[in-house]
Structure 1
Amino acid sequence: MLLHAVFIVITMVSYIQSYPSYLDEIPNGYNVKYKPCADDDPVSWLAVGHVQKQASDTDRNKFGERFAYYNNTWTLELCNEDSDLDGVTNGVELGFTCTQSNIDTWADNPTSLTLGTPTGHPGICEPNTGTCVEQNANLTLPVCSTAAGKK
């Protein structure tokens, strides 16, 4: 019985440790930042597909929902979408030029691509003014003034 329990624990630990990081599956996954208001400094947001900076299984943002829809794969469709409805495509926000050739290269050898600098967060509407306030209703974020994009 004890040997069986040890086997189950070892199997579970191996599974958890070998589970691939989704940050590796999206361009610039480790470099995504969120800038709530025009005058704010960008904040690192490693849980790119989640509503909080630290992920849980149930708190996906719109980008996380769309990423899951595409089987957790960076696709041309996902690249060209504007998951957070801020008027900027996911590809642009992640510093990725959306072409089928780049998608194919990303799938085969992502390190061979030169990526641009991320310009925003693909799952959080930025800045948090105007229509973005409604889009971000499920998030705990500062609301910026509409006129200047300031808190």
Structure 2
Amino acid sequence: MSRSVVATLMVGLLAAPSAVQGYAKYVKLIPNGGNVPDTPNVGHLDPAGETGVNDFGQAFAKAGNAWTTALCQADTDGDGYTNGQELGDPCCTWTTSNTAGLVTDGVSHPADAAKVPTSSSLKAGCSSSSTTATNSSSSTGDSVGDVVGTVAPAGPTTGGMPPNDDEDDSSESAVLTAGASVAAASGVAVMLATALLAAAL
């Protein structure tokens, strides 16, 4: 095998991302996704985003990888604060195209019960007397002021799953196991490529 072929294979293997690696596109799909202190990959078990997902990551995946009202109002780490409070969207009004009302200071990790919001506005949550949201109709330009109700955490749950979860979680375990297998296989492939390169030289 020629040195150039071995070198090309090695570069390709080293440059290929792991199947479990966190992706920047998800950071933009949640409020303050890239602004949580010491946590560049909020949905993963490790800061580098190279291992499986945590409780918030599982809930985000179940929500179709979207910031939904249900995900916002949930408390995936059971610390008494909703995911919305922890990520700076206490009234669950944030969207990727409308960041008005987003609190950027004092946010915390929605999958770590030891980390809670430090901002008094986030700790207070959302109240109908202090917050209103405006919904705009893109076709007519009319706007309607809707009062946003109180957002309360769903309460602590076992394993970050809602108490009425009737879904089969075996497929999620299979995905995590497959991801770990792919990561291990990638490591073996890198070692093999290194050995081939050394033999070719």
Q: Given the two structures, how large is their TM-score scaled by the length of structure 1?
A: 0.56
* 1:125 partner letter: A
Distance 1:74 1:29 in 2: 11
Distance 2:29 2:89 in 1: 13
1:124 pairs with one of 92, 112, 116? 112
Q: Does 1:87 align with 2:80?
A: yes
1:31 pairs with one of 7, 31, 35? 35
Q: Does 1:49 align with 2:43?
A: yes
Question: CA contact under 8 A between 2:77 and 2:110: conserved in structure 1?
Answer: yes
Q: Given the two structures, how large is their TM-score scaled by the length of structure 2?
A: 0.43
- Percent identity reads 39
Question: CA contact under 8 A between 1:93 and 1:121: conserved in structure 2?
Answer: yes
Output aligned runs, 1:72-111, within 5 Å.
72-99=65-92, 102-103=93-94, 106-107=95-96, 109-111=97-99
Distance 2:98 2:44 in 1: 23
* Deviations 1:78-136 (CA, angstroms, capped at 9, x unpaired): 0000001111110000011324xx24xx15x134x231124310011115xxxxxx97x
Runs of 4+ deviating beyond 4 Å? none
Q: What is the deviation of 1:59?
A: 1.3
Q: Which runs of 5+ in 1 are unaligned?
A: 1-8, 14-18, 34-43, 128-133, 136-151
The 1:29–1:118 alpha-carbon spacing in structure 2 relative to 1, beyond 3 Å, is farther
| Structure 2 equivalent of residue 115 of structure 1 | 102
Question: CA contact under 8 A between 1:31 and 1:118: conserved in structure 2?
Answer: no
Secondary structure (helix, strand or coil) at the match of 1:30 reads coil
Aligned residue pairs total: 102
1:71 pairs with one of 53, 64, 72? 64
* Deviations 1:46-85 (CA, angstroms, capped at 9, x unpaired): 11001110112x5111000000000100000000000011
* Deviations 1:33-52 (CA, angstroms, capped at 9, x unpaired): 2xxxxxxxxxx201100111
Question: CA contact under 8 A between 1:82 and 1:90: conserved in structure 2?
Answer: yes
Bigger CA radius of gyration:
2
